[in-house]
């Protein structure tokens, strides 16, 4: 497990088993890695009478863990109680906004991470071996894959099926593409439940010169990731935010769920160039 500042600066490594050859610290105990507080919430954007009107949500996640010094390296300068505590203090300062990441690895390679803040940092000097107790409050309770999954696009077409058999929780996705003809309304809809849709009405984009709506050559960027939700269009190097063009009465941000996902677009005049997402997990 690695603690990393939001700016990407490495702070500390913590291992289950200490090493004679490494200066990492040892993880004595940890809790909060499993899904707790799952609840059934009504989706406010659900179509009237929809059988899928409810979504599974998760309450706030707090990861609490205890670190001890590496018993094999007592002479290492920072392998002291104060050295460990001060290194974490410096990591918090380096992030500027107080956000840090916990990155979890398997066989030496990073797999998932989670972002949050340290709400408690307490050194216990009374034990025979000093321990540092940390309470990590996650701003998003979902563990997310470190490396995005990029889908292969054939002929600029939105894929008929997106199979996700690794994630255990829903996740957002990013989409990019270019319009090949004039389009006034752009929709992403669920093939099995067509009433579940995301719709942008661009018929009155007076910001653009040369006609209303999306025009040939306009480049669309979309993301339904909870922390980076956006939709914009770029024309002649000018990017315009389209959040205010979303049809709020009939739109929800589409997600990729574990299993088979079937989405489609309402137009054939759009050439897809990118679809990507990060896998999501309720727990480790």
What phi, psi does 152 have (nearest 5°)?
-80, 125
Residues 107-119 have pLDDT tens digits of 778 899 999 999 9
pLDDT tops 60 at residue 243: yes
Distance CA(148)–CA(230), nearest Å, equals: 18
Residues 58 and 141: beta-carbon distance below 8 Å: yes
Distance of CA 53 to the CA centre of its chain: 23
pLDDT tops 60 at residue 152: yes
- How high is the pLDDT of residue 273? 97
How does 232-249 read in b/e, with b if 16+ C-beta sit within 10 Å?
A: ebebeeeeeebeebeeee
Where are any strands of DSSP class E within 191-269?
197-201, 219-223, 230-235, 238-241, 259-261, 263-265
What the chain holds in terms of domains, given with CATH numbers, is: 2-141 (2.40.30), 149-281 (2.60.120.860)
pLDDT tier at 2, thresholds 50, 70, 90: confident
Range scoring the smallest mean pLDDT among 42-46, 120-124, 136-140, 261-265: 42-46
**Mean pLDDT (whole number) for 125-134:** 80
Residues 158-207 have pLDDT tens digits of 999 999 999 999 999 999 999 999 898 899 999 988 888 899 987 655 55
- How high is the pLDDT of residue 161? 94
Phi-psi region of 40 (alpha: psi -120 to 50; beta: other; left: phi over 0): beta
- How high is the pLDDT of residue 73? 59
Residues 8-50 have pLDDT tens digits of 778 888 887 655 555 578 888 999 998 877 776 665 555 555 5
**Which is more confidently placed, 37 or 88?**
88
Residues 37 and 58: beta-carbon distance below 8 Å: yes
pLDDT tops 90 at residue 284: no
């Amino acid at each position: 497990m690695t603690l990393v500042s939001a700016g990407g600066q490495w702070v500390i490594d913590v291992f289950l088993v200490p090493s004679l050859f490494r200066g990492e610290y040892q993880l004595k105990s940890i809790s909060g890695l499993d899904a707790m507080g799952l609840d059934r919430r009504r989706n406010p954007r659900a179509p009237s009478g929809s059988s899928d009107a409810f979504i599974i949500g998760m309450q706030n996640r707090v990861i609490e863990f205890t670190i001890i010094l590496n018993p094999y390296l007592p002479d290492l300068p920072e392998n002291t109680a104060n050295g460990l505590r001060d290194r974490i203090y410096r990591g918090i300062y380096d992030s500027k906004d107080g956000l840090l990441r916990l990155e979890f690895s398997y066989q030496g390679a990073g797999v998932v991470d989670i972002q949050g803040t340290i709400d408690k940092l307490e050194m216990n000097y009374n034990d025979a071996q000093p321990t540092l107790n940390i309470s990590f409050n996650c701003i998003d309770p979902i563990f997310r894959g470190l490396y995005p999954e990029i889908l292969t696009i054939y002929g600029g077409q939105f894929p008929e099926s997106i199979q996700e058999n690794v994630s255990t929780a829903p996740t957002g996705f990013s989409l990019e593409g270019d319009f090949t003809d004039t389009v006034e309304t752009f929709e992403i809809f669920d093939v099995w439940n067509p009433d579940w849709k995301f719709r942008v009405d661009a018929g009155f984009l007076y910001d653009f010169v040369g006609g209303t709506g999306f025009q040939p050559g306009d480049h669309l960027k979309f993301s339904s990731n909870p922390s980076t939700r956006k939709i914009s269009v770029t024309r002649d190097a000018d990017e315009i935010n389209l959040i205010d063009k979303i049809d709020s009465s009939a739109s929800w941000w589409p997600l990729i769920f574990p299993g088979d996902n079937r989405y489609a677009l309402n137009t054939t005049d759009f050439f897809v160039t990118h679809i990507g997402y990060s896998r999501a997990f309720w727990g480790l």
